[in-house]
Amino acid sequence: MYTTLFNLSSLGESNLSGVDPQRLQDLAHRPVKISIIIVLGVLVTLGNIAVLLVITSSVAGWSRNSRYFLLSLAAADSAFGLLVMPLNLWVSLIKDYTEGPDALCHVVAFCNATIYSTCVYTLATISLERYIAVFYPLQYGTILTRQRTLLLISFAWCFPPVLLLPVLFPDGIIAVHFSTASLVCNPAYSTNVGYSLSLACVIFFPCSFIMTYTNLSVWCVAKRQRMKLRKFYCARRQRHNVASRVLVPVMGAYYACWTPCMAAMIYNALSGSSVPEWIEFVVVWLPTSNGFLNCIFYFWINRSFRRKFRYVLQKFAESLCPRLVNSLLFRSTSKAQFDSGYLDNNNIVHERSSSVSSTCTLLSLA
């Protein structure tokens, strides 16, 4: 694969003798960038497929609405590796860089912007659901009914395509170009200033405000409750600082991955010039890495999810090679089956989910 990529790069450079040096430099770095994108795509895809395999079935302590929202998030993150990356890599290998924008680039740019926007809206809906679960636990079932939950998820998936529909038309008002620096088909933000600013005001800033306000409120409540519990020795020794362990990494990863991309987009729109090559590559693909970090912060640090994943992995391995599994990997099969069955029956109180109401139990102790 790597030999083919290098040959393609050399072929592209030999056919672009009249192109400016900056473009030739972008093409020379293309094999390295493609390798980074492939590795990132594999991590995002495998991580979210594992998540989907687990949460399609019941997980102890996770409500139905929680699973719906988290399934939506895992599906949106999976689309990064299954749709966004293959499309852009395909265009980067077949496109003649001396040509201008084409219909294919507009379709790819539409898919890119739609998936990115859906992911941001989904993160905002999860934060909103967490806020309701913590501050209105008794009214949770009446506020977030199954119908309203599905409506929120539908909005996160259906509104971005409608909002971004002008990107789809080659001869429309939105100009699209393929960037050899980031290997992505994107709207030309320097020539679409109004579109760039509107996109930031409609998607990024409102969702960031919702996430910041809801997560900060939950964190403050959890901190106050933890201060009350400090007077009890057993509570101090056994309770984990859920707010610091979950909410802080979630918000830190979100802003670290999305803020540079939005800042570069706004800078390109206002200044009319682009950022340096590698900076553009990093800030464009950083939001994709958030799809992998979500697997860690929303799922893998949750005890119930890890136990259910081990149970699913055990069943899958037993179906392939039961003798080897029983002899080498799963010597404590009976104990694992007891734990998983005990958890699935929800007979004891566990953490519902890292992303939903981890601090709800803390509030009930007040």
Residue boundaries of the structural domains of the chain: 2-302+351-364
What pLDDT is recorded for position 147? 92
- Residues of the chain where predicted confidence (pLDDT) is lower than 50: 1-17, 235, 330, 332-366
Q: Which CATH class is domain 2-302+351-364?
A: mainly alpha
What pLDDT is recorded for position 339? 46
255 touches 364 (CB < 8 A): no
247 touches 363 (CB < 8 A): no
List the structure tokens of 218: 């939950």
Tell whether the torsion through CA atoms of 227, 233, 234 and 240 is positive or negative: positive
pTM value? 0.76
